[in-house]
Amino acid sequence: MFPNENDIIPVTVIIPVKNGASALERCLEPLRQMAAVVVVDSASDDSSVEVARRWGARVLQFRWNGGFPKKRNWILQTYNFTTEWVLFLDADEEVTAEFVRELRQAVTSTEYVGYWINYTNHFQGHLLRFGVTQRKLALFRVGSGYYERIEDTGWSDLDMEVHEHPILDGPVGNLRCRIRHNDYTNLYKFIERHNKYSTWEARRYMARATEGQGTARTLRQHVKYALVESPWLSVLYFLYTYIALGGILDGGAGLHYAIYKATYFFDISQKIKELKRSGFGPLSQLTNPETSEREPAGRG
């Protein structure tokens, strides 16, 4: 028996945000059938809080102390959930009617404790139909696990888990329908964000090597960390996403996106080399303390 499509879906949606008002309204509008929607803000100075409250979302403020937990683990540890399932969305993500129907059915299953979700991607005003599929383990049962803990005190300025995956106790499935994802605002923001991500990736890699941090890895993580020190990873990534997976069919936007993502991996390899030369020191060695801001970022 299928659930009634008019029934409230027993899922709490968590939306971490920092100055995300421009995208937040599109994210919130399709969530009317969710049992609860919580926006976790990091002292935004735009209208994010007002937008969230106008759409009936509960707003919580998160102030990071520089250590553990970061934003997503913090809400998992401190919020009093009234639903069995939690779905993490970013402000630049939008669920579709097809996704909501699949979600409604998925949360009635007793087979899985979580689900991998696939995303569409947009760049320079174009929907990218080919290339590497973006996905996250963003839907899971409350209490089934937490995001992996990376001890990055002193070398990260990201207050939210960006690349960390949830470590769940139980089998994980996949949802077929995609969520719309459009994190592209302009090249300045795109490059700035990925510069922060590549710094985090390099320092995370060094922390694993020097401190022996070990958490479960996905297949993609195994491949990435096996090759990340080599500048050839960027070349291989470009050939894989642009040629093997058909990114060339996305025209100019597909070419530009593949180049920027390949450059991202090249930047990681070069920053690792820089860290090895200078020593694995404080974050201030890689950022300008006069211009660096502590703020959360989106997905990489």
**Residue 157's pLDDT is what?**
76
Residue 245: pLDDT band (50, 70, 90) is: very high
Q: What domains can be seen in the chain, in order of their start residue?
A: 9-181 (3.90.550.10), 187-282 (no CATH)
Of residues 269 and 296, more confidence is placed in 269
What pLDDT, on the 0 to 100 scale, is given for residue 280? 63
The DSSP line for the chain is: -PPPTTSPEEEEEEEEESS-HHHHHHHHGGGTTEEEEEEEES--SSSHHHHHHHTT-EEEE----SSS--HHHHHHHH----SSEEEE--TTEE--HHHHHHHHHHTT-SS-SEEEEEE-EEETTEEE-SSSPEEEEEEEETTSEEEPP---TTT----S-SS--EEESS-EEE--SPBEE---S-HHHHHHHHHHHHHHHHHHHHHHHHH-------HHHHHHHHHTTSTHHHHHHHIIIIIIT-GGGGHHHHHHHHHHHHHHHHHHHHHHHHHHHH-S--GGGTS-TTT---------
Residue 56 has pLDDT above 90, yes or no: yes
Task: Please report which confidence band the pLDDT of residue 2 belongs to, taking 50, 70 and 90 as the band edges.
Answer: very low
Q: Please, which pLDDT band fits residue 289 given cuts at 50, 70 and 90? A: very low
Which pTM was predicted?
0.84
User: How do residues 60-88 score in pLDDT, each as one tens digit?
Assistant: 999 988 888 999 999 999 999 999 999 99
pLDDT digits (tens, 9 = 90+) for 207-229: 776 555 455 556 666 677 778 88
- pLDDT for 170 beyond 90: yes
